[in-house]
Amino acid sequence: MGAILQSLGRTIAAGVVVLIVIALIVGGVTETSIWGLIKTHAWWAFFMRWLHVLSGVMWIGLLWYFNFVQTPSMPQIPDEQKPAVSKVIAPRALFWFRWAAMSTIVTGLILAWMMGSIGSLGSFARPHTAIAIGMWLGIIMWFNVWFIIWPNQKKALGIVQVSPEEKAKAAKLAGMTSRFNTLLSIPMLYCMVAQQNGGL
Ligand code: HEM
């Protein structure tokens, strides 16, 4: 077990193995073979939904980590220790953050296409009104990540060299946009979950 948990890659692989074992046990006990299920469109839509939620958890988890943990902690960290965050932790967190945002939007749009709700992005028509609003909120948040937060974080973290004034301006804009995405994450997640559950 120690050999598995000491490696993140092996830990994730072990999670997938546990999932496969669960599927086989449930299939055996309830006599509903997973092989029958995966021939259906409904199962593939479900599978895409699972990939989508995994990506979304990674994205919004890191967004909330920045807003609930990292940013409020910075004033309490002595100046000489700040590079540990700005040079090591933040760049790695931002890597997973922006690619999780990309994976969430890609899986979300594929899912919308599979569910027949992609057209609701233009019409907002029932029965897809909730997901149309949720998708637009998510799309705005994705745009903010890739075109405002990341370019400005590169300046703020010194990945791109700029003057001290520009650096301070970029840090402020990235921080405010990240805060704005935290605001949007509340109605966005409500709309995501509302679609299947009559919440709107
Ligand atoms: C970025 C743009 C996004 C798009 C285009 C998108 C698209 C979708 C679509 C099409 C659905 C299926 C709705 C249905 O049942 O018909 C869905 C469900 C869902 N999405 Fe998103 N989404 C996005 C962002 C996010 C984010 C950031 C999260 C964060 C975790 C998220 C979490 C969920 C959840 C939890 C569900 C409900 C799954 C269920 O009830 O089975 N989505 N999304």
For the CA of 131, the nearest atom of ligand 1: 13
Residues 139 and 87 both lie in one domain: yes
Residues 124 and 93 both lie in one domain: yes
Cα–Cα distances in angstroms (integers) from residue 103 to residues 27, 32, 43, 58, 125, in the given order? 30, 31, 20, 10, 26
Q: How confident is the model at residue 33 (pLDDT cuts 50, 70, 90)?
A: confident
Residues 29 and 47 both lie in one domain: no
Q: Give residue 34's pLDDT.
A: 82
Q: How confident is the model at residue 31 (pLDDT cuts 50, 70, 90)?
A: confident
Q: Could you write out the DSSP letters of every residue in 10-60?
A: HHHHHHHHHHHHHHHHHHHHHT--HHHHTTSHHHHHHHHHHHHHHHHHHHH
Q: How confident is the model at residue 14 (pLDDT cuts 50, 70, 90)?
A: very high
User: How far apart are the CA of 41 and the centre of ligand 1, in A?
Assistant: 18
The C-alpha atoms of residue 150 and residue 129 are separated, in whole angstroms, by: 30
For the CA of 128, the nearest atom of ligand 1: 16
Cα 130–chain centre separation: 19
Is residue 7 predicted with pLDDT exceeding 90? Answer: yes
Q: What would the pLDDT profile of 75-124 be if each residue is shown by its tens digit?
A: 999 999 999 999 999 999 999 999 999 999 999 999 999 999 999 999 99
Q: How confident is the model at residue 126 (pLDDT cuts 50, 70, 90)?
A: very high
The dihedral formed by the CA atoms of 75, 79, 85 and 91, expressed in degrees to the nearest 10: 110
Q: What is the DSSP letter of 126?
A: T
Mutate to test the pocket of ligand 1, among 52, 120, 129 (most ligand atoms within 8 A of CB): 52
Count of domains observed in the chain: 2
Residues 94 and 146 both lie in one domain: yes
Quote the domain boundaries for residue 189.
Answer: 40-197
Nearest CA, atom 18, ligand 1: 192
Percent of the chain, pLDDT > 90? 94
User: How far apart are the CA of 135 and the centre of ligand 1, in A?
Assistant: 7
The dihedral formed by the CA atoms of 187, 188, 189 and 191, expressed in degrees to the nearest 10: 80
Residues 45 and 98 both lie in one domain: yes
Helix axes 129-144, 164-197, angle to 10 degrees: 160
The C-alpha atoms of residue 145 and residue 77 are separated, in whole angstroms, by: 26
For the CA of 193, the nearest atom of ligand 1: 37
Q: Give residue 165's pLDDT.
A: 98
Residues 3 and 34 both lie in one domain: yes
Residues 125 and 158 both lie in one domain: yes
Nearest CA, atom 39, ligand 1: 193
- pTM across the whole model: 0.95
Q: Give residue 85's pLDDT.
A: 97
Residues 12 and 96 both lie in one domain: no
Ligand 1, CB within 6 Å, residue ranges: 49, 52-53, 56-57, 59-60, 104-105, 108-109, 111-112, 115, 117, 131, 135, 138-139, 142, 189, 192-193, 195-196
User: How far apart are the CA of 27 and the centre of ligand 1, in A?
Assistant: 27
Q: How confident is the model at residue 159 (pLDDT cuts 50, 70, 90)?
A: very high
Mutate to test the pocket of ligand 1, among 182, 192, 196, 200 (most ligand atoms within 8 A of CB): 192
Q: How confident is the model at residue 151 (pLDDT cuts 50, 70, 90)?
A: very high
Residues 112 and 56 both lie in one domain: yes
Range 137-142, long-range pairs (CB < 8 A, 24+ positions): 137/184, 137/187, 137/188, 137/191, 138/104, 138/105, 138/108, 138/188, 138/192, 139/105, 140/184, 141/101, 141/181, 141/184, 141/185, 141/188, 142/101, 142/102, 142/104, 142/105
The C-alpha atoms of residue 43 and residue 186 are separated, in whole angstroms, by: 28
Q: Give residue 57's pLDDT.
A: 98
Residues 95 and 152 both lie in one domain: yes
C-alpha R_g of the chain: 20
Whether residue 150 contacts residue 116, with contact meaning beta carbons closer than 8 Å, is answered with no
When the pLDDT of each residue in the chain is averaged and rounded to a whole number, the result is 97
Residues 54 and 35 both lie in one domain: no
Residues 4 and 79 both lie in one domain: no
Nearest CA, atom 28, ligand 1: 56
